[in-house]
Amino acid sequence: MPVDQELFDAVRQADRDRVAEAVRAAIDRGAPVSSLLMNSMVPAMREIGDRFAAGEVYIPEMLMAARAMQAGLDIIEPLLGTSDHEPIGRVAVGTVKGDMHDIGKNLVVMMLKGSGYEVTDLGVDCPVEKYEEAAAGGATVLCCSALLTSTMTYMEQVVGRFQKDPAIKVIVGGAPVTQRFAEEIGADGFAEHASEAARVVSACLAGE
């Protein structure tokens, strides 16, 4: 399906009113909602993520774009359930127990939603039990975020809980988290930046 240029531009320019109008107009024209998401909103978010990774835009622009995308998702999501749309994966994202920082986690949520995943935002200060609930609810990838060196160690408990369950992948990230730490605790994946999260989730789901 071709890209809805108006929707693509509205997300890219972080104009939430225009996004909502463009989505409604496209639905009125009979456009498949799944296509609006995957062929217009996802490419726009990918472009913003790339610009963020390149240092061309910053957190305020990312959050503005996320808010604009959400204005479209609020209309689209209820309709996706009634269509034959299947998300490309179900992911849960949370900041680990003891840590109240959520900017990085929010960026990951946004980049994953903007890549077509169904994302559950678990919030901050998440104990293992929250990840268990998400897995029981159908998430197959669990993303753990932390900003503090003292809280990232909790990720080991989340990884340990799901280590014997090959159907569940645990990915870790956050400012102090390193590839070496991720390997030491046995995580299935590590994303250095929020903009990498979608690629890492995709690789995990592909069994790489």
Question: Site residues (CB under 8 A) for other proteins?
Answer: 55, 57-61, 63-64, 67, 98-103, 106, 123-125, 148-151, 175-176, 178, 180-181
| 191 phi/psi in degrees, rounded to 5 | -115, 125
Q: Which amino acid is at 99?
A: D
Looking at beta carbons only, is 27 or 192 nearer to other proteins?
A: 192
**Least distance in angstroms from the C-beta of 95 to other proteins:** 10
**Least distance in angstroms from the C-beta of 207 to other proteins:** 29
CA 174 vs CA 13, 131, 191: distances in Å: 27, 17, 8
| 141 phi/psi in degrees, rounded to 5 | -125, 130
Kindly state the DSSP code that residue 196 receives in the 8-state scheme: G
Looking at beta carbons only, is 25 or 59 nearer to other proteins?
A: 59
What gap in Å lies between CA 24 and CA 31, rounded to an integer?
10
Looking at beta carbons only, is 23 or 109 nearer to other proteins?
A: 109
Q: Which two tokens stand for residue 176?
A: 């102090």
**Least distance in angstroms from the C-beta of 123 to other proteins:** 8
**Least distance in angstroms from the C-beta of 41 to other proteins:** 19
Q: CB of 97 within 8 A of CB of 127?
A: yes
Looking at beta carbons only, is 86 or 183 nearer to other proteins?
A: 183
What gap in Å lies between CA 183 and CA 119, rounded to an integer?
25
**Least distance in angstroms from the C-beta of 130 to other proteins:** 15
**Least distance in angstroms from the C-beta of 38 to other proteins:** 27
Looking at beta carbons only, is 90 or 101 nearer to other proteins?
A: 101
Q: How many CB atoms lie within 10 A of CB 24?
A: 12
Looking at beta carbons only, is 15 or 205 nearer to other proteins?
A: 15
What gap in Å lies between CA 165 and CA 157, rounded to an integer?
14
Residue tagged 């009125």 (tokens): 28
